[in-house]
Amino acid sequence: MSHFDSNLPAAIGKVAVLLGGRSAEREISILSGGGVLGALRARGVDAHAFDPAERDLVELRREGFARCFVALHGRHGEDGTVQGALELLGIPYTGSGVMASSVAMDKVMTKRLWQADGLPTPRFVRLAADQQSPEQVAAVPEVLGLPLIVKPPREGSSIGVTKVAKAGQMHDAVALAVRYDADVLCEEFIEGEEVTCAVLGQGLDAHALPVVRIAAPGGAYDYQNKYFTDDVQYHCPSGLPEAEEREIQRLSLAAYRTLGCRGWGRADLMIRAGDRRPFLLEMNTSPGMTSHSLVPMSARAAGIDYESLCLRVLATAALDTEAAALVVAGPGAAASLQGWMAL
Residue 81 has pLDDT above 60, yes or no: yes
Q: Mean pLDDT across the stretch 125-154? A: 97
Rounded-to-integer distance, Cα 115 and Cα 38, Å: 40
**CATH number given to 3-95:** 3.40.50.20
Residue 117 has pLDDT above 70, yes or no: yes
Fold adopted by 123-188: Dna Ligase; domain 1 (3.30.1490)
Burial of 255 (0-12, 13-18, 19+ CB in 10 A): buried
**Percent residues over pLDDT 70 in the chain:** 87
What is the phi/psi pair of residue 322, to 5°?
-65, -40
Catalytic residue from among 194, 266, 286, 306: 266
Catalytic residue from among 157, 225, 286, 293: 157
Catalytic residue from among 227, 256, 293, 306: 227
Among 21-35, 151-165, 223-237, the least confident range: 223-237
- Binned at pLDDT 50, 70 and 90, residue 24 comes out as confident
Per-domain boundaries in the chain = 3-95, 123-188, 192-341
> CA of 291: how far to CAs of 33, 72, 198, 294, in Å?
11, 16, 16, 9
Residue 195 has pLDDT above 80, yes or no: yes
Catalytic residue from among 187, 222, 282, 320: 282
> Please, how many CA atoms are within 13 Å of residue 245, restricted to the half-sphere of its CB?
15
Residue 194 annotated in active site: no
pLDDT (0 to 100) of residue 291: 78
pLDDT (0 to 100) of residue 133: 97
Residue 282 annotated in active site: yes
pLDDT digits (tens, 9 = 90+) for 302-340: 999 999 999 999 999 999 987 765 554 444 434 333 443
Rounded-to-integer distance, Cα 288 and Cα 157, Å: 9
- Binned at pLDDT 50, 70 and 90, residue 9 comes out as low
**CATH number given to 192-341:** 3.30.470.20
- Binned at pLDDT 50, 70 and 90, residue 25 comes out as confident
Among candidate residues 266, 269, 258, 310, the one with its CA nearest the CA of residue 286: 266
Residue 284 annotated in active site: yes
pLDDT digits (tens, 9 = 90+) for 99-112: 999 999 999 999 99
Catalytic residue from among 268, 306, 307, 320: 268
